[in-house]
Chains A and B, each alone.
Chain A
Amino acid sequence: MGMIFVGLLIGIAILFVLTMVPNRLRKPLIVLVTFLSGCFYAVEFFYPTHAVVANKQDLIKKYGVPTQTAPDFAAEAQKAGKALDPEAVKKLQELSPEDAQLALKAALEVTTPEKPFGPDAAEKLVTQENFLTPKFKDVSDWALVLQAFAIGLGIYSLMSVHLRNIAMKRSGWGNSATLITAIFLMAFAHIGKEYSSKGGWLETLDNLLYNGLMKNLDATMFSIIAFYIVSAAYRAFRVRSVEATILLVAAALVMLGNVPIGQALTNWLPNGKTDVLGNLRLENIGQWILKKASNPATMAIDFGLAVGALATSLRLWLSLERGSYFEEEL
């Protein structure tokens, strides 16, 4: 608790210092911080890795601190009366002696005659990391902490808009009043529940508001989508152009191929591997459209998106955009 308080104070102090930075230094500072932050992730991703045992700390807690000696896999397995797959052993031998000892103990523990220790199990036990990987979580946590500072901003924005609505008696101010009442009531019930006795009225109120009201309203909104799908599909599938017609035909075939009644329409056609006519069964046509037409198109779009994301990321990381972000280029 004390550490959190100290961290909070340091964070506030850093934010205060940052507000004092002169305008002419702000851009270089942002460029530097952005570059260094990106560097961490880039180096962590590109730097060569070595094999380590997954969840090492948990295994040390369980089996104790290992020695520096490399284990004899065959002998240890024989001693335990268990058999290890040679491919899996090859994978475990990539580990350092200490890690290999821990991995061997874990492997022998999960191996049973019905479930032998194979390459897939070894894959789960061995992970790749470099000198930066252990710090990855800490750096990601920093980003979360920075975002946490913004939580209050959201509540402030919401309150200021709706309190102004109430104060000026704008149209629909009653809705704003309901919203603010709901925020306070929910916060009161949820925070109060944490500090009250189990099964008390605050827990009942929290349960009523969250499980009884909020979750059901969420489900209601979700279920409305079914009706919107119908109305959107009706507009999209009207035969207005060649493209809309192709869309309609393809959608009809895929839909029919996926419902029993559609499959029943063509189930008189032979469906053997060598039967050419089997290709005309509706379920096969539907699957063909999905796998041979839709999937490649989606993959092509994904390629373009990935390259676009890379280019945008590089522009931001290397601060290639002149002026500040989104500003008119000079």
Chain B
Amino acid sequence: MNHATWPALILLLTMSIVIVVTVVSAQQGKQYFIRRIPGLSAIDEAVGRAVEMGRGILLSTGLSDGIDIITLQALAICANVASSAARYGTRVQMPVYNSAMLPIAEDTISNAYNQAGRGDAYSPDDVRYLSNQQFAYAAGVAGMIQREKFAATFLFGTFFAESLIMAENANMVGAIQVAGTPSTTQVPFFIAACDYVIIGDEYYAATAYLTRQPTLMGSIVAQDRVKIGILAMVVIGALCTTFVNPNLFKKLLADQSYPIGELLQNPKEEGK
């Protein structure tokens, strides 16, 4: 079982305070700006293309055994896509891997239709459970893609080996594909197979970019501030490790009770 050391506690608390303060300030009216992200702009392009072609859109939140942050974020992105699609009268279909996600996905997509003022267009068949077996799910999604000839596919969430099966089948039917995953091992496959890929923390920036809600904008700005802090720590750590004591941070972060003064006083001994 992992537990926080004192440095981890201080670091996490500081990061959390920065995030919460920035989010609250955004909620209170402070204006923030986030730059254009090409992958996220492509979401509107893909929806537009589906509307023009009069074909449907496939949404997938990937494979996740539980209800986790990655899947909830994927669902938030899918809700925005569904809302845009519903506004223009395009059908979206979402096959679900985890049965626990099914009611949440149904509720979210039906809310998205309602927000677009097209609640009547939502069909319960559009969000459906397929299988909780990796390749059975992939085969099911591939079958849907081949039958429905989707104009656009959105693959967001946790993906494993099945990502290529879905992406390549979508490519076969000429769908424009936007994918995003925090799994760094799957990003290369998506880059090879999809038209647009959202990588790294762009994944968490997607909803802010799409909705421009103050809370989410504040959250993105807070993330950038925290990253600047981490970058500064990396630079300071590299300089200290090089010029003060090679083991300074290793000891400090590993052992919560190690006296930092002792390390600074005996650099040579510790640096052996």
Contact = CB atoms under 8 A, between A and B. Distances in A.
A235 B254 CA distance: 46
A167 to B, nearest CB: 13
Contact of B200 (A150, A172, A305, A312): A305
A255 interface: no
Nearest to B2: A45
A266 interface: no
A199 interface: no
Nearest to B139: A221
Interface in A273-330: 298, 300-305, 307-316, 318, 320-322, 325-329
B165 A221 contact: yes
A133 to B, nearest CB: 6
A313 B3 contact: no
B124 A218 contact: no
Contact of A154 (B129, B189, B200): B129
Contacts of B242: none
Interface in B151-182: 161-162, 164-165, 167-168, 171, 182
A46 interface: yes
B248 interface: no
B219 A311 contact: yes
Contact of B129 (A153, A222, A311, A326): A153
Interface stretch (B35-43, B49-57, B95-103, B264-272): B95-103
A164 interface: yes
Contact of B204 (A218, A221, A312): A312
B251 interface: no
Interface string B78-92: 010000000000000
Contact of B164 (A151, A155, A228): A228
Nearest to A222: B135
A312 to B, nearest CB: 5
Interface residues of A, number: 64
B15 interface: yes
A225 to B, nearest CB: 5
B227 A304 contact: yes
B135 A130 contact: no
Contact of B227 (A46, A307, A318): A307
Contacts of B167: 228, 232
A310 B75 contact: no
Interface string A132-167: 010010000001000100111111011011001000
B161 A128 contact: no
A305 B201 contact: yes
Interface in A92-150: 127-130, 133, 136, 143, 147, 150
Contacts of A232: 164, 167-168, 171, 189, 192-193
Contacts of A161: 125, 128
Contact of A307 (B130, B189, B191, B230): B230
A311 B73 CA distance: 11
B102 A225 contact: no
B171 to A, nearest CB: 8
A305 to B, nearest CB: 5
A314 B171 CA distance: 37
Interface string B1-31: 1111000010010011001100110010000
B219 A45 contact: no
Contacts, number: 189
Interface residues of B, number: 77
Interface in A1-49: 44-47, 49
B138 interface: yes
A231 interface: yes
A162 B247 CA distance: 63
Contacts of A308: 182, 200-201, 203-205, 223
A49 B222 CA distance: 30
A158 B129 contact: yes
Highest count of chain A CB atoms <10 Å: which of B1, B75, B199, B211: B1
Given A221-B165, A314-B20, A303 B2 contact: no
Contacts of B115: 327-328
Given A153-B102, A301-B184, A313 B69 contact: yes
A236 interface: yes
B261 interface: no
A236 B191 contact: yes
Given A45-B3, A221-B138, A316 B102 contact: no
Interface of A: 44-47, 49, 127-130, 133, 136, 143, 147, 150-155, 157-158, 160-161, 164, 172, 217-218, 221-222, 224-225, 228-229, 231-233, 235-236, 298, 300-305, 307-316, 318, 320-322, 325-329
Given A46-B9, A310-B19, A325-B76, 5 more contacts: A160-B124, A232-B171, A236-B193, A307-B201, A328-B211
15 contacts: A49-B3, A130-B3, A133-B1, A154-B96, A164-B125, A222-B135, A232-B171, A300-B200, A304-B223, A305-B200, A308-B201, A309-B70, A311-B19, A311-B23, A326-B111
- 6 tightest Cβ-Cβ pairs between the two chains A and B: A154-B99, A308-B204, A304-B201, A221-B135, A236-B192, A150-B100
